Structures are given as C-alpha cells and as structure tokens.
Amino acid sequence: MWNIHNSQSLDEHSCCSKPAKCLGRRASKTPLNRVYYRCIRQGMNELEEMATSTKFQRCNMERKMSAMTCTIFNELRLETKLCDVVIKVNGIEFNAHKNILCGCSSYFRALFTSGWNNVEKQVYSIPGVNPDMMRLIIEYAYTRSVPVTAENVEPLLAAADQFCILGIVRACCDYLEAQLCLQNCIGICKFADFYSCPDLRRQAYLFILHHFEMVRFSEEFMELSLAQLCDIIEKDDLNVKQEDVVFEAVLRWINHSPQDRKAHVSVLLPKVRMALMTADYFMNNVKNNTLVKDNDDCKPIIISALKAMYDLNMNGPSNTDFRNPLTRPRLPYAILLAIGGWSGGSPTNGIEAYDARADRWVNVTREEESPRAYHGAAYLNGFVYCVGGFDRVDYFNSVRKFNPVTRTWHQVAPMHSRRCYVSVAVLDGCIYAMGGFDGYVRLNTAECYEPETNQWTLIAPMHEQRSDASATTLHGKVYICGGFNGNECLFTAESYSPQTNQWTLTAPMRSRRSGVGVIAYAEQVYAVGGFDGANRLRNAEAYNPLTNTWRTVPTMFNPRSNFGIEVVDDLLFVVGGFNGFTTTFNVECYDEKTEEWYDAHDMGIFRSALSCCVVHGLPNVAQYAAPRDSLQSPREELMLSASNSILSV
C-alpha cells in the first residue's frame, strides 16, 4: 500500500524505575566532620547501590516469571488444554484463556464480564475481523510479540484498534513511522488520522511539511481534499525556500481535476505568500495566470499582493509587519547559530540564531555558559559541539555539547591536546579537530571524536602545522586550508581520507590565508577571506576536487578574517570577523547561481573569532526564529481592504 517492505517485531518487557537518590545534610567544614560526612555518604551510596541492585534483580526475576507463565499458558493453548473460551471468526475457531485475553485487551474484558453476557459462555462469534489478524492478536496476548509487515500493517492496526490493544497499535505506528517516505507520507497521515494515532499523524504531518518541495510531485498529493491542502500550505512550518513552489503546487493540484477544482483558486491563493515572490515571477506567472485572471474573486487578492510587495520593497524585510499573511515569512527549517567569539576586547558567550527566511537575528544566549573564542563548532546527531578555544586565560582541550531542544549544556570527553585556533569538521558521524595552538606550539596533530563511545582518537598528523586554518568535508574527505605555522600564513591545503588514515596535499590556493573561512558549497571547497600576512582579504576562491584546481570567485563587499562561515538555504553566509581595524557584526551571503554577494542583516554583537554551525528540523524552531504574530483573521478582512484599494490591476 505505501511502498514499505521491511518487517519488525515488538517485544514488550516490564521495567522498573531507578530509585530516587537520598540527599544528605550539609556537614560543617571541620576536618573531623568532613571525614564523618564522607563515611556516612559512602555508606549511604553502598546501601543505595545494594537497594538498586536488589530492586533490579527482583524486577528481572518478575519479568522472567511473567514470561515463563505466558509461555506455559501459550503451550496449553496450543495443546487446547484448560482453555475456557473459543473465539469464532468467519467459521474459524481459536481456543484461548479468558484471563490471558483480558490481560491485554479491555475489549475482551468487557466482553467476558459485562452483565448482558453469560459469564459461563464459552463461544463468542466476532464479525468483521480477518482470521489472520485474530490469530496474530491472540498470539500477542500470550507472547507480547507480533510481526508487523507491509502486507499486514493496515489490517493489523485496524484490528488492534477495534480490540483496544495499545501494544499492537504502537508496534504498527512505529513500523509506519520508520517507513515514511515521499510517496507514502500523505497516505500514512490520513491513515493515522482515521485511527486516532496522534503521534504517528504528527510525524507524518511534519514529514509532509519538511519535504513539501518533493512531496508535491507524489500521486498522493493529487488526492488531497481542498481543506487538507489549505491546512498544509498555510502553515508557517512549511519548508519552502521560495513561494513559487507553493503556487506551482496549487496549480498542479487544480490541473489534476480542473473542472472540479478551478473555482478553488481564490480559496488557495491567499494562503500563498505572494509578496515574497520576485516581481517578475509574480507578474508573469501569478497575475497573468489564466485561472487567476478568469476568477473575479482573485482580483482583490492580487491587488492586496501588489500593495504588500510595494511596501516590502520600500521598507525592507527587517521593517515588515509579519502579521500580514502575504508578507509573513515561513519558519526556517535550518537555523544558523553564531557562537562565542571575541567582542569588546574579551571573549563572549553570546549565541545568536539567524532566521534566513526573515533575515533577522535572535539572541539565544544562555548566561550560564562560559565565554570562549577561537574555538570550533559542529552540529552532529541533534547536538551542537563547541571544541577547544581560548578564554583569555586558558587554552582549552575541553568540549561542550549543547542540546538546542532543551537548551542545556553538558561536558563531554576532552581532546588529547589543547587547541585554540582549531579547525573542526564533521564526517560520517564523527567530529574531526585539527591543528591549532596549545599555548606553546602550532600543531599538526588531529583527532577524531565518536559520540557513541564519547572518546577522542588520534589520527594521522597533517603535513604542516596549522593554526587558524579552516576545514570542511566533501565527497567523503576532510579538507583543511591555509592557517599559520608560526612563521608565515599558508596557502597550502590538504585532504584526509578516513579509509586510509592518510593526508594528501592538494593544489595550493592562489592566496595565503590565515583566519580563512572554508566551506563545502555547490560541490566545491570555497576558501573565503582571511589574512595574507599584510592585509585582511575580500577575495575568495573555489577548489574543484575532480580537477585539483582553484578558481577565483567574486570578492566580498568587506575584508574579513576570523569570521563564521556556513551554508543556509543554498546561500553561503560569512558572519562577523575582523576587518583590519575592528571587529564587525556585518553579514554577507553569496549565491553561486548568480555569482553575486548580497548584504544580510547584521548581527546584534560585534565579534570575531566566532564559530558557526547550522541546525536542522528543530521541533522548537520558533524559539530560534524571529517572532511571527498570529495571522490576521478573518481572511475576509484582507480581501475587503484590497477591494477598497485605489490600485488597479
């Protein structure tokens, strides 16, 4: 039904919770009391460990006894011994024990114990159930395990819902969630809605929103109702880089059944944020579209969109009222975080989040975190890692992990070396930390962190000492470029292969670059800005791994070194840095399609020596985005105001 092929089995086991830890009183600070307190604390810990161990053993024993009991009853069922009920489905009989069925299903409990049923009754006929599904349900009652496959998941979930067996419902939902893809997400969302599976529906719905640009081409998309399509495209969470995508999806849906759907264009059009389109696209593809021109109800909507586009062009996105549904940007799927750095003559702990859809920065600093500069940042498996750095006193080998959902920090394993001016990159589930300065020498060493083991492992050293270099990953390799070796700024670059644990020198850059920004972008390695030993640089170049050559790319508006660099929504961003005279809060972005640089909104903090990373798909993305107020309501007010406009179409 939904292009799903794997199977899985659910096994339920009982578990016990950990005991709460005892809290002792604070002891006085005399040596004798400290010794006494330590002894008491040690004794309490030992008792706690014994209690925990005893409870675990008891819990484990109870689980084994329960499993043994179920095994025995299942053997009795298979041998039709001591059975006290027969479930009859389509003429097929299933022998069972009432108490076992009652233990897994409130349906059976009500069936066997309700006043209108004879408690001595032994045969129950249940209509409308597939015998194969009934067999699986009865087996689950005894084994707490059920095989879920692509073939049986739909009827099995329906049967489990009918008989109120939450364990099977969860198993089916887990299976379907694991199978979510572009072709089946809408069908699974509808299915979950029908059977009141809120968690599965939420995951399927989020999948639709996050992958809308591709989901719109699926066959299931064509079968959406008007209400369902409206519900999707009006959401702030809809992940589209351009509103053209939404408009073209609307046209595709209408053209699937034009006679029945063309009248709905006036309902769907206000939910497209048309003022965010380019003027050329709007005039050529929306205003002059036949469906729009032939629908009189669309005229006030087009007028309102033109006025909103004019206001947006005059005032700029930073001064735009997000309450207008036509100019209100979608929530970003990706958030750029600018972390730490050097500001006002000292390190900062400031963290700002960039909302690329709204072109605004949001301060998300957690005051309890310590300042650091000249560090590296990486995003991996839902966590942001801050690696190494400097706080004006210490050169760090420490690594801090930030959870952007709970917004909490935790310490993880330290590196083997202290690394200020460190280069950091992520590849194949590991974090690589390379080079840097330990307070005494520039380093050519490198190491790799595995989150699963919470351990750093030294890898092969680089060919050169590199402090203040920058690194990225592309096509399964780590690339590091430029830096400072203690004597000169470097123009050399090298790549690392995890398969061979070897570094290989690549073609050198055209310019020497320390404090450079390096990022993989458009299938090439970009090296931007930096310091060549005499000047801060505006120029940039790109490396093609296939030809082992560098080419010049357009220069930035401003020279900068020691800045943040990342890619968001297919644009390359450079953030902050040092321009040769002062730290800056300036931000620019580069589009390789147009080969042009554009100004972006400035940060709120002047800083250099910061590090940036991009986080994706946060459930709490609104906490990192510019606030969106509620859309104006009702929408008829929008059309009414438009009809009174003096603009003509």
Q: What is the pLDDT of residue 103?
A: 85
Q: How far apart are CA 629 and CA 484, in angstroms?
A: 48
Place of tokens 């006929």: 125
> In which region does residue 316 sit, left (phi positive, over 0), alpha (psi from -120 to 50) or beta (all else)?
left
Closest by CA position to 155, among listed 177, 134, 139:
134
Give the model's confidence band at 355: pLDDT under 50 very low, under 70 low, under 90 confident, else very high. Answer: very high
Sheet holding 85-89, edge to edge: 92-96, 85-89, 123-125
Q: Do residues 542 and 493 make contact, with C-beta atoms less than 8 angstroms apart?
A: no
- Cα separation, 272 vs 291, whole angstroms: 15
Which neighbouring-strand residues pair with 583? 578
Could you tell me which of 116, 122, 102, 233 has the C-alpha nearest to residue 165?
A: 102
Comparison of pLDDT for 123 and 273, the residue scoring more = 273
The hierarchical CATH code for the domain 334-624 is 2.120.10.80
Q: What is the mean pLDDT of residues 10-27?
A: 36
Question: For residue 606, how many other CB atoms are within 10 A of its CB?
Answer: 17
Over residues 240-257, the pLDDT tens digits come to: 999 999 999 999 999 999
Structure confidence at residue 7 as a pLDDT band (50, 70, 90) = very low
Nearest to 373 by CA among 413, 442, 419, 432: 419
Sheet containing 564-568: give its strands across: 564-568, 571-578, 583-591, 596-600
All structural domains of the chain with their residue ranges: 1-13+30-179, 334-624
Q: What is the radius of gyration, based on Cα positions, of the chain?
A: 31
- Whether the predicted pLDDT of 129 surpasses 60: yes
Strands (E) in 252-407, as ranges, are 334-339, 342-343, 346-347, 351-355, 360-363, 376-380, 383-387, 399-403
The separation between the first and the last C-alpha atoms of the chain, rounded to the nearest angstrom, is 47
Q: Sheet holding 524-528: strands in order across?
A: 517-521, 524-528, 540-544, 549-553
Tell me, letter by letter, the H, E, C secondary structure of 207-230.
HHHHCHHHHCCCHHHHCCCHHHHH
Q: How far apart are CA 159 and CA 173, in angstroms?
A: 13
Chain segment 75-103, per-residue pLDDT in tens: 777 777 788 888 898 889 999 888 888 88
Average pLDDT, rounded, for the chain? 87
Does residue 613 carry a pLDDT above 50? yes
Closest of 408, 451, 416, 400 to residue 430, by C-alpha: 451
The pairing of strands 334-339 and 351-355 is antiparallel
pLDDT tier at 27, thresholds 50, 70, 90? very low
User: What pLDDT does residue 23 have?
Assistant: 33
Kindly report, residue by residue over 511-561, the tens digit of the pLDDT.
999 999 999 999 999 999 999 999 999 999 999 999 999 999 999 999 999
Per the omega criterion (within 30 degrees of 0), is the bond before 634 cis? yes
Distance CA 467, CA 580 (A): 19
> Can you tell me the distance from the alpha carbon of 178 to that of 10, in angstroms, rounded to the nearest whole number?
14
- 299-315 helix and 636-643 helix, angle to the nearest 10 degrees: 90
Two tokens, residue 336: 């750029």
* pTM for the predicted model, two decimal places: 0.81
Q: For 76-80, 150-154, 488-492, 624-628, which range has the lowest pLDDT when averaged over its residues?
A: 76-80
C-alpha 152/C-alpha 159 separation (Å) is 10
What is the CATH class of 1-13+30-179?
alpha beta
Token representation of residue 618:
């946060």
Beta strand spans in 428-536 (E): 430-434, 446-450, 455-459, 470-474, 477-481, 493-497, 502-505, 517-521, 524-528
Name the packing angle between helices 185-194 and 166-178 (round to 10°): 160
Q: Can you tell me which residue has the tokens 């000169």?
A: 488
Q: Select the more confidently predicted residue: 444 or 18.
A: 444
Which residue would you say has higher pLDDT here, 311 or 507? 507
